[in-house]
Amino acid sequence: MSTVVPWVLSGRSPRAVCEQAGRLVSFVDGHDLLDVGFSLATTRAVFEHRAVVVGDRRALAAGLEALAGGGDGPELVVGAAGMAGKVVFVFPGQGSQWVGMAGGLLGSSRVFADSMAECAAVLSEFTDWWLFDVLDDEVALARVDVLQPVLWAVMVSLAALWRSFGVVPDAVVGHSQGEIAAACVAGALSLRDGARVVALRSRALRALAGVVAWWRCRCRWLRSPGMRGGMGCRWRRSTVRRRWWSPVRCGVGGVGRGVGGGGGAGASGAGGLWVAFRSGRLDS
Maximal CA-CA distance, the chain: 83
pLDDT band at residue 127, thresholds of 50, 70 and 90? very high
Q: What angle do CA 237, 226, 271 make, to 5 degrees?
A: 55
pLDDT at 140: 83
Average pLDDT for residues 81-102, to the nearest whole number?
82
Rounded percentage of the chain residues whose pLDDT exceeds 70: 71
pTM of the entire predicted model:
0.56
Average pLDDT for residues 127-137, to the nearest whole number?
90
pLDDT band at residue 282, thresholds of 50, 70 and 90? low
Least confident stretch, 88-97, 143-152, 250-259: 250-259
CA distance 21 to 50: 11
Nearest CA to 232 among 252, 214, 253, 217?
217
Q: What angle do CA 69, 74, 75 make, to 5 degrees?
A: 75
pLDDT at 7: 92
pLDDT at 219: 52
CA distance 95 to 195: 19
Average pLDDT for residues 232-251, to the nearest whole number?
44
Kindly give the pairing relationship between strand 171-174 and strand 267-268: unpaired
